[in-house]
Structure 1
Amino acid sequence: MNRNERSIAAQAVRGESVFDTQCPFCSVQCKMQVIEHRTGTERPTYTVIPKPNAASEGRLCIKGMNAYQHALTAERILHPMARIDGELVRISWEEAYERIRHKFTELRGRYGYDSIGVYGGGSLTNESAYLLGKFARIALGTKYIDYNGRFCMSAAASAGNKTFGMDRGLTNPLSDIPLAKCIILAGTNIAECQPTLMPYFTRAKENGAFVIVIDPRETGTTAIADLHLKVKPGMDAALANGMQKVLLEEGLLDKGFLANRTVGFEKLKAHLRQLNLDEIAGLTGVSEELIRKAAIAYGKAATGMVFTARGVEQQTDGYMAVRSFLNLVLMTGKIGKPGSGYGAVTGQGNGQGGREHGQKADQLPGYRMIDNPADRAYVAGVWGIDPSELPGKGVSAYEMMEKIHEEEIRALFVMGSNPLVSNPNANFVEEGLRKLDYLIVADMFLSETARLADLILPVSAYIENEGTLTNMEGRVLLREANRLVPGEAKHDWQILCDIAGKMGKGEHFAFRSAESVFNELRLASKGGIADYYGITYDRLRKEEGVYWPCPSASHDSSGRLFETTFAHPGGKADIASVANHLPDEPTDGEYPLTLTTGRVLTHYLTGVQTRRSHSLAARDFESFVEIHPRTARKLGIKDQSLVRLRSRRGDIVVRSRYSAGIREDAVFVPMHWGDVQNVNKVTNPALDPTCRMPGFKSCAVNVLPLYPVGQGG
């Protein structure tokens, strides 16, 4: 009996089981241990213990502490189900696979291979994300694959690639944060979205850091700010332009860095000189005095870091808005050294890894591009096919919904996502999903999207599904999983291999474990920007985590990028001139307020998992609209009353919540609820022209009492 077997036997005697795992939610990927206690005939109880790790330093937030609850709930889907005579009926796996084979073969014969779409998720393991891209392109032969990470990181990823030649969430390790003397948090509410990171920022403040937070509303994150810039939603690029202009006027530039390590500054200088700071103050709603104060604090600091997240990125100019903030970094030379750098605060648990290995419409593993002949040839060689067999570039996630409406996509395979709630213009999305000839959803729960499915495939939960994930730093972590899969549920990668076999492509999907998938991923990424070749499961177990790029088993990295050169062929960063972009949908007399969206501490993404945790659901059981009391009184809205929030696309019913901390011309609604409280029924589907990010964070709305005065609510 080996050591592991002795440990399991000892646990059985004590009536307990220990599961080593990590939180399935945000991009920190905190490590933890879940202990199941069994006492006779009573229901088991559970203890959750944080485990030491370099990212969260052994912390867990309320979501992580209660994550086991959704994995163990009776609402789990435990067997395949097919819609027969309008009802979802239990079927066998063999029948489910045969239905898929028959339907996909029929549709491809009638409408072509691109009649099938594949829609993934940013919480899938690297192994599943990699295999999903391979599955779409080899097993199905379709170009139409994208994923919900398009709504998370596409603006920052595009900006990082163009500016630095590489996109990796943070350009330096989290441990650098306390070394920064000035920190800009733009459009990020870390206190609620990544709460286990907050001690890094409080330590920075203890070390004398000046913290600037840019947000239209007061949050747990603005509470630590030395300066809060309450920007109008959608005007972040203009605000960053104003700060750049002040840096130029005050001479707060690193001229040597600009000359030796960047291109494009002369054009930027000419652009900034023709901007008017007073006009920028009017556009942004932030006074010239505060813009100057922020810029000077950052410019004079010896070290500094800039972080952006969805508030900046989920705009129709999200790509350029991020580039505007990256100009601040480059103008002052605050990158590539301790305490200085840039961070795109990834949202989903594997938002970083999920976009590196082939889920995006334009990408192949290792951050290779699908329209690059050399990249196609390399990956085709790994996969054992001719490059001509690889499909071309598809379209972004929301554009796939448009292709469904146009009936170019006739069937959709969804894995690890809930597009009915996460896409903008959700009424349009629902109409499209109902038009499909066939909708297949692989999920743990009957999500809003799964309720529309023709076929549902039950999948394993995080505590059961071994695999790697890449956190916001670009640190690859191994998530152990030793809990048995309940019922007939299967791992994502197993389902993909099984279906590929049914489609006659089994020789390309002969995997027997998550580790065997990862070993092929390593080879497929070799030599790419996101090179995982030197990372192995054994190494991850010994070292806890490994930063990419990692081209060899002997390669070691501090996690800090761009110390001497950038990833562009010439080694220099690219500075861009950014226009002052107005919101795509301005307010008017009918829709006088600007809606912005975001997260709350207790829930995650569309709430499919967290709303099934009784501890989390009890804390926030319904959605709300945060509105300034003066604005509410003008509209006849009482605090804690039901209201109807309407845009040009639809309406929702939520409860009002007074807050003097939000701008009077804006309202805020969280994104974690579906059905009549699905905020994406009203959001704007207009897309960023570069990265195809929807403009979630800025649309024109009105808010009206649901009941006339005196009739309750």
Structure 2
Amino acid sequence: MGNVMETQCPFCSVQCRMTITEKIEAGRKTYDVAPKQNAASEGRLCIKGMNAYQHALSGERITEPLMKKGGQFVPVSWEEAYKLIAEKFTTAQNESGRDAIGVYGGGSLTNETSYALGKFARVALQTKYIDYNGRFCMSAAATAGNKAFGVDRGLTNPLSEVRQSGCLILAGTNIAECQPTLMPYFTDAKENGAFIIVIDPRNTATADIADLHLKVKPGMDAALANGLLKVIMDSGYVDEVFLSKRTTGFDEVQAHVDSLQLEEIAFITGVPKEDIEEAGRRFGQAASGMILTARGVEQQTDGSMAVRNFINVLLATGNIGKPGSGYGAVTGQANGQGGREHGQKADQLPGYRSIENDEHRAYIAKVWGVKPADLPGKGVSAYEMMEKIHAQEIRSLFLMGSNPVVSNPNANFVEEGLRKLDFLVVADMLFSETAQLADLILPTAAYLENTGTLTNLEGRVLLREAARPVPGIVKQDWEVLSDIAESIGKGAYFSYSCAEDIFEELRLASKGGIADYYGITYDRLRREEGIYWPCPSVDYPGEKRLFETSFPRSDGRAEMVAVPNHFPKERAGGKYPLYLTTGRVLGHYLTGVQTHKSPTLEARQFESFVEIHPKTARSLNIQDDTLVKVHSRRGEIVVRSKLTASIREDTVFVPMHWDGMQNINKLTSEELDPASKMPGFKVCAVSVTPLPA
């Protein structure tokens, strides 16, 4: 038996457990991967998890600091790297003020690193500019949940209750390809009699299990939710008792919905009226119901309000706070949930506190040993930081575990901006497209080498322990932050010796906050596997199902709000006759930095593609499996055509995992949701033309 590594998958928010056994056979190393029981995945692993060890053990890992000299990266010592950072950061802030430096994080960082990064920005650098790529993942649902319920936690009830639900609406979520180990929950629910409704412009692998597939026009989800509400209200399926005791705003919603015509909603959404009627009737009649949303609904310029309207559907029918009933935002990234709870977002402090609330600022300042007045104010969202970089208001950027050149909308603009920076530091384990633009790259630990907690899509906090030592002179994320703080004279605030030290401080910082982790300890996590937050004391079991008796708002009630029928800011027509929507494929993850380094995953899908309806392709003289140019107002890409009747005739789909001339975000719009600052990735207007031979 060789070296055995116990770990959990670094990719999606299910956080499946696994054992990786390293063997030497005929003089070469081989690896056996076996799934391990955990409550969310129930001992399953998908193709990405089975091959996740490949990027972590890749010969392409960065194993020493690299400084750009004469256009080439050359190895330097950590001391030399820290000296350069201290000089550059000090000069930038002396010349242009504290906010001349930006900090940009990632949704796969542990809770400990997310916490340390927020503290690093606000205490070591004292800059207001910090945000993270999770802004593009969960921010619309987070805004909606906070406004409607008073709290934002991925699922309001445990995954196990999916099997008990009478009717499930999966809106803009392709679980079969994004969180495949969760699919048995839904197939079991169906066997138990649940009626499953999928809302998606494409007939995805998830839509294949649906009893009813609503093939909505991209960007029209809020209007479709209004159609469901109209059917529910007109047919008398509202829960009057629940509405009167547990909600506010229903009368306003009803008056708005009464003014709408179902025929008009069917026309603007592209969903047949009889399908909307059946969906509303099925959900209204069910004894219990759950609605899960994901990026399809959320990555819109009205994403937060579209989610609010699906929450209206739940509240109108009283389907929350009881078994088999609730809302869930299906998190994309490994720690998309925890990453936004402890200070990586522009407006947040640990425990989901607000940076603009004087009481919250005073509490965190006391934990950190600084004056409240010394904490900077609210910064801006991730894409808005790119605008400030482009305008040269932010002159230096410290980036950890993210790849904005590929992940941001309007990617050509973003790359132009990053090239203007006086100084770019990237902390990462692999050469991302953004790292290639850096002045300095700092090598950090992969998931196999790094101990810390992550919070899964249910709001269950899990402990992932290091399974092997770091290669070369690689450091942990938090060590890098502590060392830089030391180099600029702020080391006293970052005197940690291990990840658990940071978690102990995080517990205290989160105490009494919305996301209260105070009752969670490493010892408990080792014994209990995972603990739901809020968990205010060490003898508290953690709250699996939220809102059983009240909502954490000042009046204890959930807030309903009328949501107008919204049209995307960019409409198809004229020179750009088609709607473009984006998403994921089973074999890759985010911008592909990790999965493209996996020979097994890369062999499955080595290039991008555009899905286009055969009828549409014929009208454009496009053959199957040929190179085509996809063009928007912001740029163009070249990808391979894939003809399929599974997509709407007015819509094309391109996945998000490729860079360069296949980078779909060269086309997407910089328009943001006004409330959550989520970009409208899921809708822009494009043309598709055959590439001349």
Task: Tell me which interval the TM-score lies in, with the shorter structure as reference length.
Answer: over 0.9
Deviation at residue 38 of structure 1 after TM alignment: 2.3
CA distance in structure 1 between the partners assigned to 2:691 and 2:125 by the alignment: 48
Question: Which letter does structure 1 place at the counterpart of 2:275?
Answer: L
Match of 2:518? 533
Query: What is the correspondence of 1:617-628 to structure 2 with a 5 Å cutoff?
Result: 617-628=602-613
Given that residues 300 and 682 in structure 2 are in contact (C-alpha distance below 8 angstroms), is that contact kept between their aligned partners in structure 1?
Answer: yes
Tell me what 1:135 maps to: 120
Match of 1:294 in 2: 279
Q: Distance in 2 between matches of 1:358 and 1:33?
A: 32
1:615-665 superposed Cα distances (whole Å, 9 cap, x missing partner)? 000000000000001101111111000011000000001000011000000
Deviations 1:589-610 (A, max 9, x none): 1000000000000000000000
The counterpart of 2:11, out of the listed 5, 25, 40, is 25
Counterpart residue identity of residue 17, structure 2: K
SS at match of 2:280: helix
Q: Equivalents in 2 of 1:559, 1:374: separation in Å?
A: 28
Contact 2:22/2:32 (CA < 8 Å) preserved in 1?
A: yes
Q: Does 1:679 align with 2:631?
A: no
Aligned 8 A contact 1:244 1:328 in 2: yes
How far did 1:405 drift? 1.3
Checking the alignment, whether the CA contact within 8 Å between 1:646 and 1:652 is kept in structure 2 is: yes
Question: Residue 415 of structure 1 aligns to which amino acid in structure 2?
Answer: M
1:426 and 2:411 aligned: yes
For residue 34 of structure 1, what is the amino acid of its counterpart? I
Do structure 1's residue 48 and structure 2's residue 33 form an aligned pair? yes
Q: CA deviation at 1:706?
A: 1.0
Letter in 2 for 1:133: G
2:535 equivalent in structure 1: 550
| Cα distance, 1:480 vs structure 2 | 1.3
Aligned counterpart, 2:221: 236
Q: Distance in 2 between matches of 1:59 and 1:561?
A: 26
* Aligned 8 A contact 2:534 2:543 in 1: no
Which residue matches 1:113? Answer: 98
Q: Does 1:198 align with 2:183?
A: yes
Counterpart CA distance in 2 for 1:677 and 1:258 is: 49
Q: Identify the match of residue 625 of structure 2 among 619, 624, 640.
A: 640
Distance (Å, rounded) in 2 between the aligned partners of 1:298 and 1:256: 18
Could you list the runs of 4 or more consecutive aligned residues of structure 1 that deviate by over 2 angstroms after TM superposition? none
**Corresponding letter in the other structure for 2:628:** V
User: For 1:189, which of 158, 174, 180 is the aligned residue?
Assistant: 174
**Residue aligning to 1:6:** none
Q: 2:292 aligns with which of 304, 307, 310?
A: 307
Offset from partner CA, 1:40-73 (integer Å, 9 cap, x none): 7x22110111111100000000000000000011
Q: CA deviation at 1:39?
A: 4.2
**Any gaps of 5 or more consecutive residues in structure 2?**
none
- 1:408 match: secondary structure: coil
What is the CA-CA distance between 1:146 and the residue it aligns to? 0.1
Structure 1 residues 436-451: aligned runs within 5 Å:
436-451=421-436
What secondary structure sits across from 1:237 in the alignment?
helix
**How far apart, CA to CA, are the structure 2 residues paired with 1:337 and 1:146?**
35
Map 1:143-542 to 2 at 5 A.
143-542=128-527
Contact 2:591/2:656, CA 8 A, preserved across alignment: yes
User: Match for 2:5: what amino acid?
Assistant: F
Give the residue type in structure 2 aligned to 1:384. G
**Greater displacement, 554-563 / 624-633:** 554-563
- 1:119 is paired with a residue whose SS is strand
Contact 1:253 1:331 in 2 (8 A): yes
2:269 aligned partner, one-letter code: T
1:326 is paired with a residue whose SS is: helix
Residue 371 of structure 1 aligns to a residue in which SS? coil
> Hey, what's the Cα distance between the residues in 2 that align with 1:448 and 1:634?
36
Q: Distance in 1 between matches of 2:263 and 2:89?
A: 59
CA displacement at 1:588 relative to structure 2: 1.4
Q: Separation in 2 of the partners of 1:120 and 1:606? A: 15
SS in 1 for 2:278: helix
* Distance in 2 (alpha carbons) for counterparts of 1:657 and 1:441: 36
**How far apart, in 1, do the equivalents of 2:659 and 2:515 lie?**
35
Distance 2:60 2:688 in 1: 35
Partners of 2:478 and 2:98 in 1: CA distance: 22
Cα distance in 1 for residues equivalent to 2:543 and 2:138:
24
TM-score normalised according to structure 2 size: 1.00
After superposition, the C-alpha distances for 1:145-204 in whole angstroms (9 at most, x for unaligned) are 000000000000000000000000000000000000100000000000000000000000
Taking the aligned partners of 1:48 and 1:590, their CA distance within structure 2 comes to: 50
- Provide the secondary structure at the position in 1 that maps to 2:287: coil
Aligned to 2:20: 34
Aligned residues: 693
Which of 165-174 and 550-559 deviates more? 550-559
Ranges in structure 1 where 5+ consecutive residues have no aligned partner: 1-13
**2:11 match: secondary structure:** coil
Report the alpha carbon displacement of residue 558 of structure 1 after superposing the two structures with TM: 5.1
* Residue type at the aligned position of 2:355: I
Aligned residue in 1 for 2:75: 90
3-state SS of the aligned residue for 1:296? helix
Distance in 2 (CA, whole Å) between partners of 1:178 and 1:289 is 27
2:680 is matched with 695
**2:195 & 2:312 partners in 1: Cα distance?**
19
The one-letter code of the counterpart of 2:407 is S
Aligned pairs (5 A) from 1:590-601:
590-601=575-586
Query: How far 1:481 moved relative to its partner?
Result: 1.2
Other-structure match for 1:10: none
Q: Aligned letter for 1:446?
A: F
2:517 aligned with 1:560, yes or no?
Answer: no
Query: Shift of the alpha carbon at 1:383?
Result: 0.1
Is 1:630 paired with 2:615?
yes
Paired residue type of 2:174:
N
Instruction: Describe the SS at the equivalent of 1:689.
Output: coil
Q: Distance in 1 between matches of 2:398 and 2:30?
A: 36
From 34, 56, 59, the equivalent of 1:71 is: 56
CA RMSD of aligned residues (A): 0.6
TM-superposed CA distance for 1:705, in Å, is 0.6
Shift of 1:346: 0.4
1:665 counterpart (633, 636, 650):
650
Contact 2:166 2:289 in 1 (8 A): yes
Matched residue type, 2:24: R
SS of equivalent residue, structure 2 residue 448: coil
The one-letter amino acid of 1:332's match is T
Q: Which amino acid aligns with 1:493?
A: W
For 1:642 and 1:39, the matched residues in 2 are separated by 42
Tell me how far 1:211 sits from its aligned partner: 0.2
Contact 1:173-1:558 within 8 A present in 2 as well = no
Q: Percent identity?
A: 68
Write out per-residue CA displacement over residues 540-573 of structure 1, whole angstroms, 9 at most, x where no aligned residue.
Answer: 0000000000000000135100001111021100
